Chains A and B, each alone.
Chain A
Amino acid sequence: MLRILEILGQLIMVFMEETGKVILLFGNSLRWGLRRPFYVRLVVRQMLEIGVNSIPVVLITATFTGMVLALQTHTGFQRFNAESLVGTVVALSMTRELGPVLTGLIVAGRAGSAIAAELGTMRVTEQIDALYTLATNPVKYLVVPRLVAGTLMLPVMTVLSDIVGIYGGFFVSVKVLDANRTIYLRRTWDFLQFSDIYSGLVKAAFFGLVISLIGCYKGFHTRGGAEGVGRATTGSVVVSSMMILISDYLLTAILF
């Protein structure tokens, strides 16, 4: 019994310590990020890594999510003759919820892990120390561009996934389920408000920040060679996925 409490206490302490370190890292990034010079080229490079290269996966996922959403809601809604609202449901679900969250999860799996692996390798091969010796702050050089890129790219990708999701649902409804295309589009856009899209984008930006931050943190604090890099990679995916889902609820509840 005592042992269990001890382990529990230890876990809580570790959790608190890690949280504190993540927040410190974020504070450091803010401090360094606001200081000249700005590494625009590095930001662009990370935008390519985090965003552009993930786009095919994100688009395919979003398309099929929109499609299956249309299929499922249609099945449910036709039981009370509300098929015309499928478009509304798909549009609202995609923009408010699934667009940002799915994009976030995919980017966490793809880019977040890559960040952790890259920084982790740099850590174990002393490249991060080398940056210090070259009078370059690794937080500024490595972390800040990734945070900026993640925060900027996620909303962009969410917009893309919103639109392909909506049109994926449209395709299934109109071509497969034989819905009226005009009514479907009307229902899609009539009930959608800009705040729905906007709230999704704010979430996405936050997710982007979280993914990058956790990836960087895990990479930065890697220990123990190749095995450590593996742990950091897995850890970053698990933690950032969980953080996305938890913060998604909190953001939705508090902000929108």
Chain B
Amino acid sequence: MKLTAETKVGIIVFLGIMILTYMSFQVGEFRVSKKTGKSINLIFDSVAGLSKDASVQVAGVEIGKVYDIGLKEGKAHVNVRIYADIDIDRKSKAYIRSAGLLGDKYIDIVLGNSGDYLGNGGTLVSPPESEDIGKLVGKLSSIADDFKEVSTALKNTLGGAEGEESIRRILENFRDLGITLNRMVDRNEERFTHIMKNIDELSGHLNQTLGAHREDIDQALTNARTASTSLKNIFRKVDEGQGTMGRLINEDDLSENLNQALVSANDVLGVKKKYRTFVSLRNEALVEANDSKGYISLQLLPRKDKFYLFELVSPEGTKGDLTETRTVSHITNRGTGAGSDFFPVDVTQTVEKEKTSDRLMYTAMFGRRFGQTSLRLGLEENTGGIGIDHTFFGKRVGLHFDLWDFEGENSFGGSAHAKIRADFNFLKYFYLHTGYDNFLNTEDSSLFYGAGITFNDEDIKDLFSLLPVSR
């Protein structure tokens, strides 16, 4: 059959129209309108970056598209069309997430399980968003405003003799605070040494004293009681000190503004609530090595199951380069009882064998937590190391095992440095600990004990807000 001109043209034009129809159904915007599906309203605080026809997903599977975005009472109302055969639970949560290189926004619905489902036209109010950059910037600027107020107040305060007077008084108060703190530290040291001595005695004579030496045990318990009484004293004094400081500040404006500023600061810190921080200081007395070790550690927890540990370690005597000699001072307390004045009376200077320089050592470890147990990996006291931690009784008791310096370069025995440690959190901020250090190298191995103090970011914040402001 020969095709006529009309037929040929007809075929081509028809083909063109068919393809055009096909393409029009393929292109993004018309595909969805075909299957309208169930309509659901989602309310968000912000839908920045979300556009029409953005995908709506459950567990990564597209179930619908964004149909319309509107604004009502300052909230974003997003109308979505669910065309998948799926019921949305009333307890579901919707989040705006971004995917892909271009950061296309989509709505992620995490289905709830209340068994009560949204019907057509139902509404789901989304939980408050995690902070976005915009909000953070907003907050920071409000803080800046607060600080401006503070500085304005300060300027007002500083003007004139009255202001000068109040500044002088503030400085005086700070000096007083310093004195009080010094005394506190002294008393701490004394008490701790005392406690440790008792513990030392306790452990040293445990076998003999059990049963036979009732008095000794009684004596130890008495000592422990005395120790805790002393600690209580310390805290009472701190409380008094705070009260005094608070009273001393009588500039209402200043304190008010400062208060505001700090509340804002709290908010900022609150933004980072997930990002928790622990700061702790601890000391270890090595019994057999007749030495001590100090630690300052900072633990950052960006997530519940993840943390970073940074420690500064003041070196013990028997480590590092084995060439230098060093003088170590031991402060021995000869005073008696609590409440009396304490001061160092006897200073013994001992020349140790091969000693090292005073250089600090660093620990930087990455950790993962699995329930009560966590694993650490990283740099430990300047060498590669691993660690495992476990907590019992609601974190009151902790057990730690560390292994580092696998080549044994810093120890006499040439084996890896291993350490086991147990700590007891008997008060909120204080803990005692004991353990066995470097037990793989007999020459260096030593029992140790010590005490520590730990704060988390909340505490630091509270200290900041309480110390200068409360009256």
Whether A157 pairs with B26 at a CB distance below 8 angstroms is no
Q: Which 10 A-B pairs have the closest CB atoms?
A: A156-B16, A48-B5, A159-B16, A192-B27, A189-B26, A47-B9, A190-B28, A52-B8, A163-B19, A159-B20
Q: Tell me which residues across on chain A come within 8 A of B17, comparing CB atoms.
A: 156, 159
- Counting chain B residues whose Cβ lies within 8 A of the other chain, the interface size class is 20 to 34
Whether B16 pairs with A155 at a CB distance below 8 angstroms is yes
Whether B5 pairs with A160 at a CB distance below 8 angstroms is no
Q: Does B59 contact A (CB under 8 A)?
A: no
Docked CA distance A77–B361 (Å): 47
Q: From residue 36 to 61 of chain A, which have CB atoms closer than 8 A to chain B?
A: 44-45, 47-48, 51-52, 55
Q: From residue 1 to 58 of chain B, which have CB atoms closer than 8 A to chain A?
A: 5-6, 8-9, 12-13, 15-17, 19-20, 22-24, 26-31
Whether B30 pairs with A194 at a CB distance below 8 angstroms is yes
Q: Does A197 contact B (CB under 8 A)?
A: yes
Docked CA distance A96–B40 (Å): 35
Whether B28 pairs with A156 at a CB distance below 8 angstroms is no
Whether A192 pairs with B19 at a CB distance below 8 angstroms is no
Q: Does B101 contact A (CB under 8 A)?
A: yes
- Counting chain A residues whose Cβ lies within 8 A of the other chain, the interface size class is 20 to 34
Q: Tell me which residues across on chain A come within 8 A of B29, comparing CB atoms.
A: 193-194
Could you write out 24 A-B pairs with CB less than 8 Å apart? A44-B5, A47-B9, A48-B5, A48-B8, A48-B9, A51-B12, A52-B8, A81-B101, A156-B16, A157-B12, A159-B17, A159-B23, A160-B12, A160-B15, A163-B19, A189-B26, A189-B28, A192-B23, A193-B28, A193-B29, A194-B24, A194-B30, A197-B20, A197-B27
Give which listed residue, B12, B19, B26, B31, contacts A52 with CB less than 8 A: B12
A51 in contact with B9 given A81-B101, A192-B26, A192-B27 (CB within 8 Å): yes
Given contacts A163-B19, A163-B23, 20 further A-B contacts (CB under 8 A): A44-B5, A47-B5, A48-B9, A81-B101, A155-B16, A156-B13, A157-B16, A159-B23, A160-B15, A162-B23, A163-B22, A189-B26, A189-B27, A189-B31, A191-B28, A192-B27, A193-B27, A194-B24, A197-B20, A197-B27
* Total A-B contacts with CB atoms under 8 angstroms apart: 68
CB-defined interface of A143-164 with B at 8 Å, one 1/0 digit per residue? 0000000001001110110110
Q: Which residue of A lies closest to B31 (CB)?
A: A189
User: Chain B: residues with CB nearer than 8 A to chain A?
Assistant: 5-6, 8-9, 12-13, 15-17, 19-20, 22-24, 26-31, 100-101
A55 to chain B, nearest CB (A): 6
Q: Tell me which residues across on chain A come within 8 A of B100, comparing CB atoms.
A: 84
Q: Does A130 contact B (CB under 8 A)?
A: no
Q: Does A24 contact B (CB under 8 A)?
A: no
Docked CA distance A47–B10 (Å): 10
Residue from B22, B23, B29, B31 whose CB has the most chain A CB atoms within 10 Å? B23
Q: Which residue of B lies closest to A83 (CB)?
A: B101
Whether B28 pairs with A192 at a CB distance below 8 angstroms is yes
